[in-house]
Amino acid sequence: MLARILRGPDSRIGLVTVPVAAVLAALVVGGVLMAVEGVAPLSAYGEVVLGVFGRTRGLIDTAVIATPLILLGLGIAVAYRARVFTIGAEGQYIAGALAGTAWVTLGPPLPGLLLLVSGLVVAVLTGAAWAGITAWMLARFGASVVITSLLLNYVAAAGLAWAVRVGIRDPGSFTPQSRPVGDAALPDIPGTTIHLGFFFALLAVPALAAVLRRTRFGFRADVLGANPEVLAVNEARPAWTRFAVLALAGSFAGLAGFVEVAGTTERMTPAFATGYGFTAIIVALLGRLRPLGVLVAALLLAGLTVGFDEAERVFIIPSTTVGVIQALIVVFFVAGDALSRRPGRRGRH
């Protein structure tokens, strides 16, 4: 029974119905909010859709915003499958990006491709190490993953503030920011801002699906989520599997961070931490902790962001509306999922 918690009921219908219903319900509430504001919801939503599909730019922006969300969401999904509830993706994302940027801007002068690849490796390892602190604190002290991973986000945020002010600051810049990544920049599709990172993210989806379905690691992660004792009985130590899923989640977050710097922002500023690590939790849950679901959910949330951005130019909508709708999606999803799984007749009758 526990195996089905979060990952949805066995039936294909329940699997998709609840997330879709949650999205629709959140959009309805969002519409009511806009109506209260004096904006006609249907025309606003029309503008949201047009903002994404009505112009090439909308689709490009959606892909760019979805890129870190997909990568972060995939990592979170694996951890949550094992019932390791990390909320440290934001910190791992910052730490990975910082280390990667430090390497490519201050490290040895390497030729372009080597610089990029080594930067990616540094970022992935740093992300994994940052998540590893959480794993270590759990294994050694039994400290709650939820709490330690979240506290580490604040530590990483302080690190970011220091790094762009002092540590990896561009000496020629007046405001605190790092040097541009230069040769380590990810190439864009000509004529667009979609960078190679989007294809990394797209490739990671089937790759992770294969790992989850076919490897011992994937199986152990799921068993750990279902019943850690079964894992222990089978002589696979739960602690190691927990460490592995956290390190994997950290790797994905570190990768997402570096890809965002090298592909989109090209340098780090204090504004680098935009909360993608938290939005990615919604992505992972809504995607039912499945790689393909994560892809769909990330594109959906990115599309909502882009579409609302466009709609705000036409209508007077508070810029935080899309955040409220995204947050409502996850609340409705959690409630709907629990309701749909509630043992109706078993309890009392």
Binding region for other proteins (CB under 8 A): 1, 5-6, 33, 85, 87, 137, 140-144, 146-148, 150-152, 154-155, 158-159, 161-162, 165-166, 278, 281-282, 285, 318, 320-321, 323-324, 326-328, 330-331, 333-335, 337-339, 342-343, 347
CA separation (Å) from 214 to 217, 222, 341? 9, 12, 28
Alpha-carbon distance of 49 to 304, in angstroms, equals 8
Which is closer to other proteins, CB of 263 or CB of 307? Answer: 307
Q: 260 and 68 in contact (C-beta within 8 Å)?
A: yes
Alpha-carbon distance of 334 to 315, in angstroms, equals 31
Which is closer to other proteins, CB of 64 or CB of 325? Answer: 325
Query: CB 348 → other proteins: shortest distance, Å?
Result: 8
Alpha-carbon distance of 180 to 262, in angstroms, equals 9
Nearest to 262 by CA among 187, 337, 328: 187
Query: CB 228 → other proteins: shortest distance, Å?
Result: 14
Output b/e per residue, 187-210; b: 16+ Cβ within 10 A.
ebeeeeebbbbbebbeebbeebbe
Nearest to 253 by CA among 116, 25, 80, 69: 69
Fill in the amino acid letter for 165. Answer: R
Query: CB 195 → other proteins: shortest distance, Å?
Result: 28
Which is closer to other proteins, CB of 20 or CB of 147? Answer: 147
Query: CB 193 → other proteins: shortest distance, Å?
Result: 26
Q: Answer positive or negative: Cα dihedral of 225, 343, 294, 12.
A: positive
Which is closer to other proteins, CB of 204 or CB of 283? Answer: 283
Query: CB 202 → other proteins: shortest distance, Å?
Result: 26
Which is closer to other proteins, CB of 116 or CB of 245? Answer: 245
Fill in the amino acid letter for 23. Answer: V
Alpha-carbon distance of 246 to 241, in angstroms, equals 9
Which is closer to other proteins, CB of 108 or CB of 142? Answer: 142
Alpha-carbon distance of 245 to 49, in angstroms, equals 37
Which is closer to other proteins, CB of 6 or CB of 204? Answer: 6
Query: CB 162 → other proteins: shortest distance, Å?
Result: 4
Query: CB 79 → other proteins: shortest distance, Å?
Result: 12
Query: CB 56 → other proteins: shortest distance, Å?
Result: 29
Which is closer to other proteins, CB of 15 or CB of 211? Answer: 15
